[in-house]
């Protein structure tokens, strides 16, 4: 930490030296005394400040952000909380990336709390670093200053904006079971069974086997027929930013809907397939770069529900070779639909020739409208499949 003089400090110091010089020239002891006092005040104030106030460390601060991650359009609250028994300096300033600093609202102090808090609304998907924070301190006479820094930082993530995507339809699968999404639900015959034990969840009772055995039988493992969903995202590097963000947000909304319906979701983007929770997929989408979004899709989807989102810019049309052929990995009971964000019907025909049922969306279209049309389109496909 460097102790620095203010402008008035320099002026007072020069004034003191000049007073001493003039007093020596005119032989005026009182003037010399005034000059010496000014210089002494400046030096003593600076020395005391450098030894005492400037060296006093900041109270240990803990920074928290909630909710983290958040989605674009939401805000998170960041709090700087001092350690036990410490008081936070009211002049603490936070270091924020420039694009975030324009979307910050300082919260009023909370009664009985020493925490400093502010709300930040990320303007786009991505990751940022908050901190370090610092305090500007001044000497007792206000002649010197320094900046004391707390070097701790925290990372925050903004997921793509999402909207509810309800593809509900009163459709029946081959056992007459109703599926909310309209997609075939896992079949009971694809589960191994064992004798029912007291305390087992009655919702896991396998009624067909129980009827055959004459005793209650329960499923020993989860069904595995069509419990997987796949989402692929491919976006031309020349696609406008509005189309790119729409494609990414639509993929994120779809993935959240599928997980809520009980599907294990895989996501293909950036040249690789990601497995895991939808939250991990949203983390990948949050930092998906333009270059990575244009990478070819790595593998064909497996059996289950598959959604391809393809967005083209001003470059050449899609090629069939660049589109996954879902018929190679999907069965007749699977669903393979694609959303093509393009102003050209030729692009839709190209994707359709690769085996996808295609919904083409032309700009301008909002995320809410795109999600609604995708839900209606998927419902119509399912309804046609069971008609």
CATH number for position 75:
2.60.40
The sign of the torsion formed by the CA atoms of 312, 315, 316, 319 equals negative
The reply to whether 192 and 104 lie within a common domain is no
pLDDT tens digits, one per residue of 260-273: 888 889 999 988 99
Give the model's pLDDT for residue 191: 46
Q: Provide mean pLDDT across the span 372-383.
A: 84
The reply to whether 241 and 357 lie within a common domain is yes
The reply to whether 281 and 307 lie within a common domain is yes
73: left (phi over 0), alpha (psi -120 to 50) or beta: left
* Cα 341 from Cα 35, distance rounded (Å): 78
Walk across the sheet containing 104-106 and list its strands: 61-66, 76-82, 116-120, 104-106
Give the model's pLDDT for residue 115: 74
Q: Answer with the residue of higher pLDDT: 76 or 148.
A: 76
Listed in sequence order, the residues at least 6 apart from 240 whose beta carbon sits closer than 8 Å to its beta carbon are: 313
pLDDT tens digits, one per residue of 38-50: 999 999 999 999 9
The reply to whether 95 and 201 lie within a common domain is no
Q: Answer with the residue of higher pLDDT: 167 or 28.
A: 28
Q: Answer with the residue of higher pLDDT: 233 or 299.
A: 233
Q: Answer with the residue of higher pLDDT: 211 or 365.
A: 365
* Cα 118 from Cα 129, distance rounded (Å): 15
Listed in sequence order, the residues at least 6 apart from 335 whose beta carbon sits closer than 8 Å to its beta carbon are: 183, 304, 305, 306, 378, 381, 382, 385
Q: Is residue 164 part of a domain?
A: no
pLDDT at 210 over 70: no
Q: Is residue 182 part of a domain?
A: no
Task: Count up the domains in the chain and report the number.
Answer: 4
The reply to whether 268 and 364 lie within a common domain is yes
Q: Is residue 173 part of a domain?
A: no
Give the model's pLDDT for residue 326: 67
Q: Answer with the residue of higher pLDDT: 57 or 146.
A: 146
* Cα 378 from Cα 178, distance rounded (Å): 16
* Cα 145 from Cα 69, distance rounded (Å): 37
Confidence label for 246 from pLDDT (cuts 50, 70 and 90): very high
The reply to whether 36 and 122 lie within a common domain is no
Query: pTM to 2 decimals?
Result: 0.74
Confidence label for 178 from pLDDT (cuts 50, 70 and 90): very low
Contact 342, 311 (CB under 8 A): yes
Q: Answer with the residue of higher pLDDT: 382 or 107.
A: 107
Q: Is residue 172 part of a domain?
A: no
The reply to whether 118 and 245 lie within a common domain is no
The reply to whether 232 and 381 lie within a common domain is yes
pLDDT tens digits, one per residue of 315-353: 666 766 667 776 555 544 567 899 999 988 888 998 888
Q: Answer with the residue of higher pLDDT: 187 or 75.
A: 75
Q: Provide mean pLDDT across the span 236-246.
A: 92
Q: Answer with the residue of higher pLDDT: 202 or 14.
A: 14
pLDDT at 386 over 80: no
Q: Is residue 193 part of a domain?
A: yes
Q: Is residue 282 part of a domain?
A: yes
Give the model's pLDDT for residue 72: 94
Give the model's pLDDT for residue 148: 87
The reply to whether 151 and 202 lie within a common domain is no
Give the model's pLDDT for residue 182: 45
Give the model's pLDDT for residue 169: 38
Of the three residues 197, 221, 245, the one that is the final residue of a domain is 221
Q: Is residue 174 part of a domain?
A: no
Q: Answer with the residue of higher pLDDT: 206 or 103.
A: 103
The reply to whether 83 and 49 lie within a common domain is no
Domain that holds residue 68: 61-159
Q: Is residue 165 part of a domain?
A: no
Length of the chain: 387
pLDDT tens digits, one per residue of 98-153: 999 999 999 887 776 667 889 999 999 999 999 998 888 899 999 999 988 888 89
The reply to whether 293 and 382 lie within a common domain is yes
Average pLDDT value for the chain: 81
Confidence label for 188 from pLDDT (cuts 50, 70 and 90): very low
The reply to whether 71 and 203 lie within a common domain is no
Confidence label for 302 from pLDDT (cuts 50, 70 and 90): low
Of the three residues 141, 159, 177, the one that is the final residue of a domain is 159
């Amino acid at each position: 930490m460097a102790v620095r003089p203010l402008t008035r400090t320099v002026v007072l110091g020069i004034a003191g030296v000049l007073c001493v010089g003039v007093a020596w020239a005119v032989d005026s002891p009182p003037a010399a005394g005034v000059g010496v006092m000014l210089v002494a005040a400046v030096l003593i104030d600076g020395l005391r400040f450098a030894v005492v106030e400037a060296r006093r460390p900041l109270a240990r601060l803990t920074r928290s952000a909630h909710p983290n991650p958040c989605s674009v359009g939401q805000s998170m609250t960041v709090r700087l909380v001092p350690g036990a028994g410490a008081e936070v300096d009211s002049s603490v300033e936070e270091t924020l990336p420039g694009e975030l600093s324009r979307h910050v609202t300082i919260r009023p102090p909370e009664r009985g709390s020493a925490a400093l808090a502010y709300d930040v609304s990320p303007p786009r998907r991505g990751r940022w670093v908050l901190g370090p924070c610092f305090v500007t301190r001044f000497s007792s006479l206000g002649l010197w200053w320094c900046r004391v820094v707390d070097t701790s930082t925290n990372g925050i993530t903004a997921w793509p904006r999402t909207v509810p995507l309800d593809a509900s339809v009163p459709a029946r699968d081959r056992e007459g079971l109703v599926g909310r999404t309209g997609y075939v639900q896992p079949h009971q015959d694809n589960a191994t069974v064992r004798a029912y034990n007291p305390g087992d969840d009655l919702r896991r009772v396998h009624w067909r086997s129980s009827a055959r055995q004459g005793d209650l039988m329960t499923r020993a493992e989860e069904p595995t027929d069509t419990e997987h969903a796949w989402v692929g995202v491919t976006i031309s590097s020349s696609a406008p930013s509005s189309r790119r963000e729409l494609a990414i947000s639509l993929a994120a909304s779809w993935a959240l809907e599928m997980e809520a319906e009980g599907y294990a979701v895989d996501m293909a983007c950036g040249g690789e397939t990601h497995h895991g929770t939808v939250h991990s997929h949203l983390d990948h989408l949050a930092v998906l770069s333009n270059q990575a979004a244009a990478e070819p899709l790595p593998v064909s989807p497996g059996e289950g529900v598959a959604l391809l989102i393809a967005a083209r810019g001003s470059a050449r049309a899609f090629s069939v070779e660049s589109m996954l052929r879902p018929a190679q990995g999907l069965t007749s009971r699977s669903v393979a639909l694609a959303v093509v964000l393009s102003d050209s019907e030729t692009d839709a025909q190209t994707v359709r020739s690769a085996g996808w049922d295609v919904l083409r969306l032309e700009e301008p279209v909002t995320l809410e409208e795109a999600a609604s049309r995708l839900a209606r389109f998927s419902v119509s496909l399912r309804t046609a499949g069971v008609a």
